[in-house]
Amino acid sequence: MTMTENEPSIVDSDDFTVRRTITIAASIEKVWATITEATHIARWFGQSAVLDTVAVGAVGTFSFDGHGTFPIRIEECDPPRTIAYRWGDGDPHAVDPFEPDRSTVFRFVLDVVDGGTRLTVVESGFGGLSDPAASMESHRGGWDAELDELVAYLDGGS
């Protein structure tokens, strides 16, 4: 499956979500490792990832060139099917970077399909942000680019 065969992300302005589903020619175990282990995450999602453990409540950071470093916390974890990360807006002065009006949640759901794994990401919580429409559009483009990088990373035999 090549990157061009996967549909782009879509914005749902009524639900304040961004969603994308892709199919990857890799086992569910390999895709799970790639979306949960910091060493793999840093190879396709941003430039660096720090995450000490994969469990509900675990915290860390994801960094993106030109955008900064964002605190993350695992909200849900059901290996190898579902993981949800809450990420803050990156404000270093925030008392609680995970408060709902300063953060969104992106949830990965994995399903085994013929020839590989179907991954669906849904990012929610944009309704509480200061400019939901601009944030959703920015993240829509981000998910297109990042998930294409994920497919390329796994296609590269990682």
Confidence at residue 23, expressed as pLDDT on a 0 to 100 scale: 96
Confidence at residue 101, expressed as pLDDT on a 0 to 100 scale: 85
Confidence at residue 158, expressed as pLDDT on a 0 to 100 scale: 52
pTM of the model: 0.93
Domain region containing 104: 3-155
Regions in the chain scoring below 50 on pLDDT:
1-4
Which residues touch 138 (CB under 8 Å, ≥6 apart)?
A: none
Confidence at residue 3, expressed as pLDDT on a 0 to 100 scale: 41
Confidence at residue 52, expressed as pLDDT on a 0 to 100 scale: 87
CA distance 85 to 70: 11
- Cβ contact 97:103 at 8 Å: yes
CA distance 75 to 57: 6
What is the domain count for the chain? 1
CA distance 149 to 78: 24
Q: What is the pLDDT of residues 81-123, one digit of tens each?
A: 999 999 998 787 888 989 988 899 999 999 999 999 999 999 9
Return the bridge partners of 59, or none.
73
CATH number for the domain spanning 79: value is: 3.30.530.20
Taking each helix axis from N to C end, the angle separating 28-36 and 132-155, rounded to the nearest 10 degrees, works out to 130
Confidence at residue 90, expressed as pLDDT on a 0 to 100 scale: 76
Q: What is the DSSP letter of 26?
A: S
